[in-house]
């Protein structure tokens, strides 16, 4: 068998033995001789087909099958064919179209895979012949399972097989499409190849199989399947298999099946479900479900359990929540919105493990052959009897398989049991022992108050469940109006129940219609009537003594029911785990009340549209900024005041939306006024600048007159002049630091002397001003400078006197 899938290639690359083995298969050395032998064998086999009698078949060897197929079956321990295999294989080998119906787990897969291998073998199909057989499955997991079974039993054949399902590498599939002989696929991906891939050619197709045929042909796949069927060659053999087979003439006509052979070995059986499947149901309130499920898991830690729920979101939430609550067993979740790789991994993990709980949607209800499943729990009422059969059929599979099924129903859904019983499904009501039910309610609430993401998942789960109930076809059983939504929300840990917008909208629309048309012949009135019915039934129990009696009867009935045995196998460790939970209860309560107040306070996040709508309703003027001056008068923002007539008119017209053309016109008109406004502003600015400059000049002139008051920063820099204090102090020989006039200067000098300044530097002291400033002495307190005095002295001295003075100064310096 030649595989085309990525992962199988890799597996074989790792295993050189397998590679060698495969090469052997692909070598066609003794081709001519072999071909002759093969021809003879094929002729013999084909000659036997008409003689097949299902009653004579004991083992697979009794069928006229090729040695390669028999070897494949033997290698996988398939010795005795099951009923459906005995009956269907013969007809299929004869080339008849088949409508195969047999219980879940009865071996339908081999019933169509063996004929596929034999059909192509007898036609000496080679890789060059393209697609010879097509198997369509409603889900990826089922397609993968079929593909794996084909790999096993077709191991000794030379055909190539391909698994074509969504979520895989389309490019990889595309390139190899022309080399595939047996194609296992899901409808969507198949159609994609049919539409887009030029290498896809099924014109030589010999045999088409629809596994879970009724599902493939139902409304969900209607358009896709119609398109696929249109592309299939009319000359082909068609096999349909399911546990709940379609007999609809319309479906058969779609497939051009006028006289298919109906093969239903279990038609006369007392039950439609496997005999080894023990089925029971309970009724409980919606808010009890999660506690019951939790308690069930805690009491079945050593078992393999599959739990079905109505929607992906419920599965996701229950999985996330229970993982956090840590029941003490591996948990898994399988649903459609998961990434394909993850889906494959979870599928394989659940197959492999023995103590594990898998939460799943109906994605896992059809065809999947998980080994050794002990329990199937249907947490939500299934859509119809068929779905129930498929879900429950995930256990008690194969020849020796045993298993149990538990269905949880809401009191008003109990009618569903009638349909089950009418369809030959043996199911008994049992009651749950309330002492065994431990709902981790407070812990759930605490977890949610801590974890916003989990809370959002819970909200989605809540809404999606209600939506799924709302959308159910069977309105006799699924009544969204009877659900205690508040209690349900609380059981999920949501203290404030999320808004059920779709329901609100629906009721609003209905109310509007009812107001409009007073006649009540349509569906809305029916729904309203149902609403009233529901209310009445609830009330009647409260008020009507008859109702009370009825209720009492129910309670007595409940008591008489066989108690549901939880097989209490909790060991000491698990008890510890429970104690930890009780410790948290106080905290949980506090957290929950806090959360309640916060969530009440918190308004729900508003969308922009909602805000806009609100504003429109209230006719508020948005984005208006009002500025006040110091006296409290409004300062008008000129920019916001429209000037042009056209703009004023536009503003007064209260029309919804924006007329772009008109708005453009208004803007252009307003632009003219804006330009004028701008020019005025610039002019005013220039004027102001000029005025300031004038004032400054005036001030400067005034300052020049009053030299003493001239600020140091504005006045000319005279710091280059020799320090008069020093000169005078030296000249007078007076070093009195207490002298009033020079006290500050003396301090400065001391500073300077302490440094290593040169003589010249000492006299050229540009820092002096800074020093004065830095000591924080106000400018006014500085004594008027004596610069003028020096100037006067020097002016009155002759050159010789100046020289003498200089000499004197130098001498005095030396003595210092
Ligand atoms: P169905 O499609 O009818 O639900 P499957 O084809 O998935 O059932 O088979 C259910 C289980 O029975 C599988 O595990 C398969 O390996 C096993 N099985 C099928 N045919 C035989 C057989 N002839 N002998 C033993 N086991 C079989
Ligand atoms: Mg099957």
User: Taking 60 as the threshold, does the pLDDT of residue 148 lie above it?
Assistant: yes
Exposed, middle or buried, 79 (CB in 10 Å: 0-12/13-18/19+)?
exposed
214 has a pLDDT exceeding 50: yes
User: Is 680 contained in some domain?
Assistant: no
Residue 681, pLDDT score: 87
556 and 533 in a common domain = no
- In angstroms, the CA 281 to CA 429 distance is 5
More confident residue, 563 or 611: 611
Q: What is the pLDDT of residue 507?
A: 77
**Average pLDDT of the chain?**
77
Residue 149 alpha carbon, nearest atom of ligand 1 = 16
Q: Which of 486, 515, 537 is the last residue of a domain?
A: 537
> Which ligand lies nearest the alpha carbon of 102?
1
Whether residue 240 sits in one domain with residue 349: no
Residue nearest ligand 1's atom 2 by CA: 108
Distance 112 CA to ligand 2 centre (A): 10
Residue 271 pLDDT greater than 60, yes or no: yes
Lowest mean pLDDT among 213-217, 370-374, 578-582: 578-582
From the CA of 417, how far away is ligand 2's center (Å)? 25
**Do both 757 and 784 map to the same domain?**
yes
- Of the candidates 128, 389, 378, 363, the residue with the CA atom closest to the CA atom of residue 245: 389
Mutation test residue for ligand 1: of 88, 101, 105, the one with most atoms within 8 Å of CB:
105
pLDDT at 59: 97
Q: Which of 192-196, 243-247, 685-689, 742-746 has the lowest mean pLDDT?
A: 742-746
pLDDT band, residue 368 (cuts 50/70/90): very high
Cα 105 to ligand 1 centre (Å): 6
User: pLDDT class for 708, splitting at 50, 70, 90?
Assistant: very low
Q: Which ligand is nearest to the CA of 107?
A: 1
CA distance 735 to 418: 125
Residue 505 binned pLDDT confidence (cut-offs 50, 70, 90): confident
Out of 53-67, 362-376, 473-487, 510-524, which region has the weakest mean confidence (pLDDT)? 510-524
Pairing state between β 330-334 and 261-263: unpaired
Q: Are residues 387 and 239 in the same domain?
A: no
Answer yes or no: is pLDDT of 582 > 50.
no
Model confidence pLDDT, tens digit, residues 452-489: 999 999 999 999 999 999 999 999 999 999 999 999 99
Asked which of 237, 263, 289 is the last residue of a domain, the reply is 263
Segment among 343-347, 460-464, 625-629, 751-755 with least mean pLDDT: 751-755
Q: Specify the pTM.
A: 0.65
Nearest-angstrom CA–CA distance, 336 and 311: 10
From the CA of 113, the nearest ligand is 1
Distance CA 92, CA 110 (A): 12
What one-character-per-residue DSSP string does 47-81 give? HHGGG--GGG--SGGGS---HHHHHHHHHTT--SP
Q: What integer pLDDT is reported at residue 537 of this predicted model?
A: 33
Ligand approaching nearest to the C-alpha of 60: 1
Q: Is residue 805 part of a domain?
A: yes
Total of domains in the chain: 5
For atom 4 of ligand 1, the residue with the nearest CA is 105
Q: Provide the H-helix boundaries in 365-516.
A: 385-392, 416-422, 441-450, 452-471, 485-491, 501-516
Last-in-domain residue among 228, 263, 298: 263
Nearest residue by C-alpha to atom 25 in ligand 1: 78
Alpha carbon nearest to ligand 1 atom 23, residue? 81
Q: Which ligand has an atom closest to residue 73 CA?
A: 1
188 and 282 co-located in one domain: no
Mind listing the pLDDT tens digit for each residue in 234-257?
999 999 999 999 888 888 889 988
Ligand closest to Cα of 105 equals 1
The ligand 1 site (C-beta within 6 Å) comprises 78, 80-82, 85, 102, 104-110, 367, 369, 397-399
Give the atom of ligand 1 at the shortest distance from the alpha carbon of 81: 23
Say what the pLDDT of residue 605 is. Answer: 59
pLDDT tens readout for residues 638-681: 666 677 777 777 766 655 556 777 778 888 888 888 888 888 88
Query: Phi and psi dihedrals of 164, rounded to 5?
Result: -115, 95
Residue 6: is its pLDDT beyond 80? no
Which atom, in ligand 1's list, is nearest to the CA of 369? Answer: 7
In a domain, 512, yes or no: yes
Q: Please state which of the ranges 102-106, 604-608, 759-763 shows the lowest mean pLDDT.
A: 759-763
pLDDT at 747 over 90: no
Q: Which one is predicted more confidently, 560 or 362? A: 362
Ligand 1 atom, smallest distance to 109 CA? 6
Structure tokens at 298: 């805690």
Q: Which domain holds residue 578?
A: 551-599
Note the pLDDT of residue 626: 65
- Range of weakest confidence among 8-12, 161-165, 215-219: 8-12
Q: Which of 73-77, 610-614, 688-692 has maximum average pLDDT?
A: 73-77
Per the domain annotation, does 221 fall within a domain? yes
CB atoms within 10 A of CB 441: 19
Ligand 1 nearest-atom number relative to CA 103:
3
Which ligand is closest in space to the CA of residue 88?
1
- Predicted local confidence at residue 533, as pLDDT: 40
Output the CA 326–ligand 1 centroid distance in Å: 35
Q: How confident is the model at residue 143 (pLDDT cuts 50, 70, 90)?
A: very high
Whether residues 404 and 524 fall in one domain:
no
pLDDT digits (tens, 9 = 90+) for 62-113: 999 999 999 999 999 999 999 999 999 999 999 999 999 999 999 999 999 9
For residue 60, give the ligand 1 atom closest to its CA.
Answer: 23
- How many angstroms does the Cα of residue 784 sit away from the middle of ligand 2? 114
356 and 314 within one domain: yes
The protein residue with its alpha carbon nearest to ligand 1, atom 17, reads: 398
Assign 813 a pLDDT band (cuts: 50, 70, 90): low
Give the CA-trace dihedral at 552, 558, 561, 564, to 10 degrees.
Answer: -160
Closest protein CA for atom 19 of ligand 1: 107
pLDDT, residue 16, reads 42
Does residue 3 lie within any of the structural domains?
no
Task: Check which CATH number belongs to the domain holding 430 and give it.
Answer: 3.40.50.300
Mean pLDDT of 492-521: 79
Please check the confidence at residue 3 and state whether its pLDDT lies above 90: no
- Is 326 found in the same domain as 249? no
Which one of 266, 398, 403 would you pick to mutate in the ligand 1 pocket, going by the greatest count of ligand atoms within 8 A of its CB? 398
**Cβ atoms of 160 and 4 closer than 8 Å:** yes
Which ligand 1 atom is the nearest neighbour of the CA of 102? Answer: 3
Map residue 377 onto helix, strand or coil. Answer: strand
- Residue of 277, 286, 551, 527 whose CA lies nearest to 426: 277
Q: State yes or no: pLDDT of 724 exceeds 60.
A: no
Q: In terms of domains, do 529 and 555 share one? A: no
Please check the confidence at residue 287 and state whether its pLDDT lies above 60.
Answer: yes
- Flag whether 161 is in a domain: yes
Q: How far does residue 100's CA lie from ligand 2's centre (Å)?
A: 11
Residue 371 CA, closest ligand 1 atom number: 14
Residue range 183-201: mean pLDDT, rounded: 95
791 CB neighbour count, 10 Å cutoff: 12
Ligand nearest to the backbone CA of 103: 1
In-domain check, residue 569: yes
Atom 10 of ligand 1: nearest residue by CA position: 105
Provide mean pLDDT across the span 499-505: 86
The answer to whether residue 631 scores a pLDDT higher than 70 is: no
What proportion of the chain, given as a percentage, has pLDDT over 70? 68
Candidate from 101, 109, 274, 370 with most ligand 1 atoms within 8 A of CB, to mutate: 109
In Å, what is the CA distance from 249 to each residue of 92, 99, 252, 295? 21, 12, 5, 46
Which residue lies with its CA nearest to atom 11 of ligand 1?
A: 398
The predicted structure's pLDDT at residue 202: 94
Record the tokens describing residue 315, joined without a space: 């599965």
pLDDT at position 755, please? 34
The CA 330 to ligand 2 mean position distance, Å, reads: 26
Burial class of 376 by CB neighbour count within 10 A (0 to 12, 13 to 18, 19+): buried
Beta bridge partners of 210: 136, 240
The pLDDT of residue 696 is 82
Task: Please tell me the predicted confidence (pLDDT) of residue 508.
Answer: 79
> What is the distance in A from the centroid of ligand 1 to the CA of 370?
11
Q: How far apart are CA 350 and CA 364, in angstroms?
A: 11
Closest-lying ligand 1 atom to the alpha carbon of residue 76: 16
d(CA 246, ligand 2 centre) in Å: 15
How does DSSP assign 659-724, residue by residue?
-HHHHHHHHHHHHHHHHHHHHHHHHHHHHHHHHHHHHHHHHHHHHHH-STT--TTTS---TTS--H
State the distance from the centre of ligand 1 to the C-alpha of 143, rounded, in angstroms. 15
Close Cβ partners of 97 (under 8 Å, ≥ 6 residues apart): 237, 238, 239, 257, 259, 260, 261
Residue whose CA is at the smallest distance from ligand 1 atom 18: 107
Residues 241 and 175 in one domain: yes
Instruction: Examine the domain organization and report whether 286 and 420 are in the same domain.
Output: yes
Task: Assess if residue 143 is contained within a domain.
Answer: yes
Residue 83 and residue 216 in one domain: yes
């Amino acid at each position: 068998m030649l595989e085309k899938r990525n992962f199988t290639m890799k597996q074989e690359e790792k295993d050189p033995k397998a590679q060698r083995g495969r090469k052997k298969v692909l070598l066609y050395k003794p081709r001519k001789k072999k071909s002759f032998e093969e021809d003879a064998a094929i002729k013999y086999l084909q000659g036997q087909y008409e003689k097949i009698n299902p009653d004579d078949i004991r083992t697979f060897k009794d069928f006229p099958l090729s040695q390669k197929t028999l070897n494949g079956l033997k290698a996988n321990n398939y010795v005795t064919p099951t009923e459906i295999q005995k009956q269907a294989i013969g007809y299929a080998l004869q080339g008849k179209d088949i409508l195969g119906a047999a219980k879940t787990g009865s071996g339908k897969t081999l019933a169509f895979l063996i004929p596929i291998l034999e059909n192509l073998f007898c036609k000496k199909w080679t890789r060059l012949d393209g697609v010879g057989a097509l198997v369509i499955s409603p889900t990826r997991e089922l397609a993968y399972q079929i593909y794996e079974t084909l790999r096993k039993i077709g191991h000794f054949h030379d055909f190539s097989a391909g698994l074509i399902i969504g979520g895989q590498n389309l490019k990889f599939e595309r390139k190899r499409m022309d080399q595939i002989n047996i194609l296992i696929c899901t409808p969507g991906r198949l159609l994609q190849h049919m539409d887009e891939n030029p290498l896809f050619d099924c014109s030589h197709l010999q045999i088409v199989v629809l596994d879970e045929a009724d599902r493939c042909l139902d409304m969900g796949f209607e358009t896709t399947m119609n398109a696929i069927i249109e592309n299939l060659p009319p000359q082909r053999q068609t096999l349909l298999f399911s546990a709940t087979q379609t007999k609809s003439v319309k479906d058969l006509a779609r497939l051009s099946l006028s006289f298919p052979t109906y093969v239903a070995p279990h038609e006369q059986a007392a039950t439609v479900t496997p005999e080894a499947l023990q089925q029971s149901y309970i009724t409980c309130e919606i808010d009890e479900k999660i506690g019951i499920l939790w308690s069930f898991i805690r009491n079945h830690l050593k078992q393999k359990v599959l739990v079905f729920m109505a929607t992906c979101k419920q599965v996701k939430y229950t999985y996330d929540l229970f993982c956090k609550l840590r029941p003490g067993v591996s948990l898994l979740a399988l649903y459609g919105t998961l990434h394909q790789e993850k889906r494959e991994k979870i599928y394989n993990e659940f197959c492999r493990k023995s103590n594990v709980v898998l939460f799943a949607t109906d994605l896992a209800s059809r065809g999947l052959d998980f080994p050794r499943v002990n329990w199937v729990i249907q947490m939500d009422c299934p859509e119809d009897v068929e779905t129930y059969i498929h879900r429950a059929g995930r256990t008690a599979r194969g020849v020796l398989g045993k298993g149990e099924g538990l269905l949880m129903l809401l009191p008003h859904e109990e009618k569903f049991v009638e349909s089950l019983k009418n369809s030959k499904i043996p199911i008994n009501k049992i009651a749950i022992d309330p002492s065994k039910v431990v709902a981790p309610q407070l812990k759930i609430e605490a977890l949610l108050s801590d974890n916003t993401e989990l809370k959002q998942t819970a909200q989605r789960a809540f809404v999606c469940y209600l939506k799924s109930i709302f959308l159910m076809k069977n309105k006799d059983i699924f009544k969204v109006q009877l659900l205690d939504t508040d209690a349900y929300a609380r059981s999920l840990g949501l203290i404030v129940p999320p808004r059920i917008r779709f329901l609100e909208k629906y009721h609003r629309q209905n109310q509007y219609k009812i107001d409009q048309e007073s006649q009540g012949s349509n569906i809305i009135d029916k729904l309203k009537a149902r609403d009233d019915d529901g209310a009445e039934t609830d009330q009647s129990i409260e008020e009507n003594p008859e109702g009370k009696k009825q209720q009492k009867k129910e309670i007595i009935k409940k008591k008489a029911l066989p108690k549901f045995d939880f097989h209490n196998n909790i060991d000491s460790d698990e008890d510890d785990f429970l104690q930890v939970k009780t410790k948290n209860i106080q905290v949980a309560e506090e957290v929950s009340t806090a959360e309640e107040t916060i969530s009440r306070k918190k308004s729900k996040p508003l969308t922009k549209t909602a805000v806009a709508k609100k504003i429109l309703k209230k006719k508020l003027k948005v984005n208006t900024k009002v500025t006040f001056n110091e006296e409290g008068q409004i300062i008008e923002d000129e920019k916001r005041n429209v000037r042009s007539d056209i703009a004023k008119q536009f503003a007064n017209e209260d029309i919804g939306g924006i007329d772009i053309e008109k708005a453009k016109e208004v803007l252009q008109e307003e632009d003219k006024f804006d330009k004028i406004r701008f020019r005025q502003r610039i002019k005013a600015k220039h004027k102001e600048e000029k005025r300031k400059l004038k004032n400054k000049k005036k001030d400067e002139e005034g300052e020049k007159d009053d030299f003493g008051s001239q600020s140091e920063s504005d006045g000319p820099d005279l710091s280059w002049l020799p320090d008069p204090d020093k000169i005078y102090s030296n000249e007078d020989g007076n070093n009195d630091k207490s002298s009033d006039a020079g006290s500050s200067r003396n301090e400065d000098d001391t500073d300077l002397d302490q440094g290593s300044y040169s003589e010249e530097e000492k006299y050229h002291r540009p820092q002096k001003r800074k020093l004065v400033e830095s000591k924080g002495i106000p400018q006014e307190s500085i004594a008027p400078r004596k610069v003028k005095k020096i100037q006067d002295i020097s002016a009155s001295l002759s050159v010789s006197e100046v020289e003498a003075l200089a000499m004197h100064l130098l001498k005095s310096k030396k003595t210092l």
